[in-house]
Amino acid sequence: MKVGALGTHASHVESEHGADSVSRAFNIGIRDAAALAEVIVDAIRLGLDPGASTLLARYARGRRADNLTMLAATDGLNRLFSNDIAPLRIGRRAG
Q: What DSSP string describes 35-63?
A: HHHHHHHHHHHTT--TT-HHHHHHHHHHH
All residues at 6 or more sequence positions from 21 whose CB lies less than 8 Å from its CB, including other chains: 15, 74, 77
Identity of the amino acid at 80: L
Q: In angstroms, what CA-CA distances link 8 with 27, 33, 36, 68, 71?
A: 12, 9, 12, 16, 15
| pLDDT tens across the length of the chain (95 residues) | 455 555 554 444 444 555 566 777 788 889 999 999 999 999 999 999 998 999 999 999 999 998 898 889 888 888 888 888 888 788 878 86
Task: Tell me which residue of 41, 42, 38, 31 sits closest to 64, measured CA to CA.
Answer: 31
pLDDT at 11: 43
Query: What is the value of pTM for the model shown?
Result: 0.61
